[in-house]
Each structure stands twice: as C-alpha cells, then as structure tokens.
Amino acid sequence: TLFNLDERTPLGWPQGGMPSRPQGPYYCSVGPENSFGRHITDAHYKACLYAGIEISGTNGEVMPGQQEYQVGPCIGIDAGDQLMMSRYILQRVCEDFQVYCTLHPKPIVEGDWNGAGMHTNVSTKEMREEGGIDAIRKAIYKLGAKHEEHIAVYGTGNELRLTGKHETASINDFCFGVANRGASIRIGRDTEAEGKGYFEDRRPASNCDPYVVSGKIMSTIMEDVEVPVIEPMDKSEA
C-alpha cells in the first residue's frame, strides 16, 4: 500500500479523511480519479525487468492507493529470491518518488477496505499432467489438516485481514473452492475445466517471508500421509 510521507494518508485519499466513493472502481482501473500510484508500479515493473526478475503483471487493487504485482512462475527457492529482490527494488523506486510503501496486511482498519495478501500460486509436475486435479485436491486436504501451522508462519497482523470479509476466509477456518475469492485456497476456473494446473493459497499476508511460506507449503503437500477429505465451498457462500 502506497502512502504519502506522513505514513497515514494513502495515495488518492484526502488528508485526515476517507475517499468519497467506496472500494470497487479502483480495481484494475484507469483514470486520475481511480488510479493512484501507476508511476510507482510502472517504474518498478521496468526496473524488475532490467534486473532479471520474473515479474509477470501489475494492477491497481480494490482499495485506492493499494497496488499489486506478480512474480513468477519460479522454481523452488528462486521464488523467494526473486520476491525479496523485487521488494528491495520497490523500496528504491518509492525512495525516488518520495512515497512511503508498507507491506502491512491491513494498513487501514477503519471502514470497509480490503487488506493485502501475498497470494501464492502452487503447482507440481504431477498437478500439470493429465488428471492433475486429483493431486491438487490431495494437496489441499493436506494443507487443511495443518491450517493452524501455516497461519502461524504466514505473516504478522494477518488476523486483521483474514476476517471472512473483503475477499478472505476467516483465519479460524479452512476452506477451498473453485473461482472463490472468499476461500482459503482457490482453484481457478481454467484448472477445473482442464483437470490440471495449479491452486492459489490466499492466506499468506503481504508481509510474509516468501522462503518460509514456499518451504512450508512444499513440506506439507509432499508428505506421504492420509488426511480427511474436505468438501469444496460453494461460491454463493463467499
């Protein structure tokens, strides 16, 4: 989330107040009344490309002043290396523009505003092969069995973000669904249709340690254990 140097006012917000419009029109937006910080994200994107970072996208987020970028696909520990370097580059770019950037998962707790996560897309060779959806489901069941362990290492302040509202599942519950932003784990519509692909762990906070998160996910899903089956969440419940 990008702030003015007072560290209290997000870009696009009136000082000491809140935007006149609710969240919604700012997501993937264009126009000076909707998009705040594109000069930061464009400069960061170009700098990451120059540095060899596998940056693959960027977009304005739901809350004004909140921006997102994606890194990957990456293999193994390279995911952590690349994300950490991208964070360093982000701070250098914000320094140039004299903008304060925080990775806190819920920098604005008053009002009806989304938090920020480090959604983590996961895929193994087996998941990408024919019939890989079965491997994806089994991995999700294993993640559900160790939900509390994962939450414990998924970043600080995450309890403020994972409330069951604002496109999150409750920090106290584990669930998964297809094309469901209100689930702990989301399976994409394309993955379901093709019967193979990847899944998205939506629980990690934006300030989490990517080495810890990627390592914890892999250690859990590669275990040879039997765990209970979990029924998918209906999208209408999001």
Residue in 12, 47, 56 with CA at minimum distance from that of residue 2: 12
> To the nearest whole percent, how much of the chain has pLDDT over 70?
98
What tokens appear for 116 in the block?
A: 């920020």
| Mean residue pLDDT across the chain | 96
Which pairs with CB-CB distance under 8 Å and at least 24 residues apart come from 183-191?
Answer: 183/233, 183/238, 184/143, 184/144, 184/147, 185/140, 185/143, 185/144, 187/133, 187/136, 187/140, 187/232, 191/133, 191/136
Contacts of 37 (CB under 8 A, 6+ apart): 2, 11, 12, 60, 65, 67, 99
199, 189 contact by CB (below 8 A): no
To the nearest 10°, report the CA torsion of 85, 86, 87, 91. Answer: 100
Q: What is the pLDDT, as a whole number, of residue 238? A: 43
Q: Report, as an integer, the average pLDDT of 189-210.
A: 98
Burial grade of 152 (CB within 10 A; 0-12, 13-18, 19 or more): exposed
Please state the rounded mean pLDDT for residues 140-157. 98
Element (DSSP H or E) covering residue 42: helix 38-51
206 has pLDDT over 80? yes
- In this prediction, residue 58 carries a pLDDT of 98
Q: 176 forms bridges with which residues in the sheet?
A: 185
CA distance 233 to 187: 11
Task: Decide: 96 and 64 in contact? Cβ < 8 Å.
Answer: no
Question: CB–CB of 37/67 below 8 Å?
Answer: yes
Confidence of residue 235 (pLDDT cuts 50, 70, 90): low
238: nearest Cα among 139, 186, 164? 164
- Give mean pLDDT, residues 172-186: 97
pLDDT at 233: 87
Strand residues in the chain grouped as ranges (E): 2-3, 55-60, 67-71, 100-101, 120-122, 176-178, 185-187, 199-201
Contacts of 54 (CB under 8 A, 6+ apart): 71, 72, 73, 74, 82
Question: How far is residue 206's CA from residue 54's CA, in Å, rounded to a whole number?
Answer: 18
What mean pLDDT is predicted for residues 77-82? 98
50-59, 148-157, 227-236: the lowest-pLDDT one: 227-236
Q: What is the pLDDT of residues 28-74, one digit of tens each?
A: 999 999 999 999 999 999 999 999 999 999 999 999 999 999 999 99
